[in-house]
Amino acid sequence: MTPLDFIYFVMFGSLVVGFITYNNRSGWLKLLPWFLVLMLSFELYAKYLSIANKETMTLYDIVTFFEFMYFSILYALWAKSWFNKLLTCVLIGLFIFSELLFVFRVPWVRFVDYNILSYFFSSLFLIIIAMSYLLEALRSDDIINFNKNPIIWLSLGLMLYLSSASFFLVANYFEIVFKHQQIIHISITFISVLSLYTCLNIAMLCQRYD
């Protein structure tokens, strides 16, 4: 068992919290524990592929797609201002367009490039959406109730988690320059994932909301 294998227990713990607090949510947010089941299944399958010395790039492309679509649709439904709804819909459209470029095998988009760009666009767009939501909440005259607003916690978790994207995009550089690149990789991965699922747990433990 490697240090990163503890992430599976973190994900499973969040999954349990999600189903225990299942009735606290409604609408698209109620699908969150089922989304976590899907993500955990993907991660376990990726572990199997890794042990079998098979490539996991295609699988993680699928993970990136589902991850982006779930959270972006959640923001589109939750946002109150027309600007945030429009921004989210535009970014969803751009992301789907980038996916279609690969599906139809556009000659100037290589497979490896697609994998990097897909992850980059997903991370960038979700960070923009999360930041836009937080700015909307801060500018609102409504009193922010952290105990009843799960999307604020979700936004914080996503921003902490996705901020690691810049590291993974230059991972090869770290491997060349730094002797203990693996330690850096494990540390950043574990901290970012732990931050996300901690915030997701807090979000799911929020009081009942409609």
209 occurs within a structural domain? no
SS3 annotation, 21-67: CHHHCCHHHHHHHHHHHHHHHHHHHHHHHHHCCCCCHHHHHHHHHHH
Contact 157, 199 (CB under 8 A): yes
The pLDDT score that the predictor gives to residue 210 is 47
Selection from 151, 154, 158, 98 nearest residue 126 by Cα: 158
Selection from 138, 136, 125, 134 nearest residue 153 by Cα: 134
Q: Write out the two tokens for 148.
A: 């009843």
Distance CA 66, CA 39 (A): 9
87 occurs within a structural domain? yes
Selection from 73, 90, 9 nearest residue 47 by Cα: 9
Distant-in-sequence, close-in-space partners of 187: CB < 8 Å, separation ≥ 6: none
pTM to 2 decimal places: 0.84
- 92 alpha-carbon distance from chain centroid: 14
Q: What is the pLDDT of residues 85-125, one digit of tens each?
A: 999 999 999 999 888 877 776 665 565 556 677 788 888 89
21 occurs within a structural domain? yes
The pLDDT score that the predictor gives to residue 176 is 47
The segments of the chain whose pLDDT lies below 70 read 1-3, 105-115, 141, 143, 165-182, 184, 207-210
25 occurs within a structural domain? yes
Number of domains in the chain: 1
49 vs 20, 43, 45, 57, CA distance in Å? 31, 10, 6, 10
60 occurs within a structural domain? yes
Q: Which domain holds residue 23?
A: 3-204
210 occurs within a structural domain? no
**On the CB side of 187, how many CA atoms lie within 13 Å of its CA?**
5
Distance CA 125, CA 128 (A): 5
Distant-in-sequence, close-in-space partners of 2: CB < 8 Å, separation ≥ 6: 186
Written as one string, the DSSP assignment of 156-201 is: HHHHHHHTTHHHHHTHHHHHHH-TTHHHHHHHHHHHHHHHHHHHHH
